[in-house]
Amino acid sequence: MTNTITFVFSNPKYIILSFAIFVPMLIGLLILSEYIFLEPYVVSHLPTGTEFGFALIVAISALSALVLPMNVFRINVLKSSTRKMGSSVIGSFVGAAAGACSCGPIGFAVISTFGSVGATATAFLTNYEIPLRIIAIGVLVITYFTTVKSLKTECKFDP
């Protein structure tokens, strides 16, 4: 598996893409989860007892930054057969989107826009954000192993 990672990330384009995914996703999720506040100053705050949620956000961002460039590499290698690559790309997007489940300040806008359905969805996402993030990490890990397996078969290199 490490040979697959070094094979993909030997091109600096994919390293830059990985950082371009990791940094905005991490900052965005930290702002949504209210670990970073933008007003009146940019301040970060990690309340006691929320360290696990913070670690899950970092893990989701890191896994997304690992899986998405590998899938872009896979798309570039398999330009002719787009049917083969659909599930891995969809899995990485689903895993990354599920990690952004905590609503924070956005919840009030959802509640006022969608009424009771928005309130129910916001309450669900707020109550189950840790399990949803763990599921997102699971989806990203499965996508990672699927991508590595397909790259080993389709690129014909020995680990």
Domain count along the chain? 1
- Give the angle subtended at the CA of 36 by the CAs of 32 and 38, to the nearest 5°: 95
Tell me which residue range forms the domain holding 22. Answer: 2-155
Binning pLDDT at 50, 70 and 90, where does residue 7 land?
A: confident
Lowest mean pLDDT among 5-9, 93-97, 98-102: 98-102
> What is the per-residue DSSP string for 8-23?
HTTSHHHHHHHHHHHH
Q: State pTM to two decimals.
A: 0.75
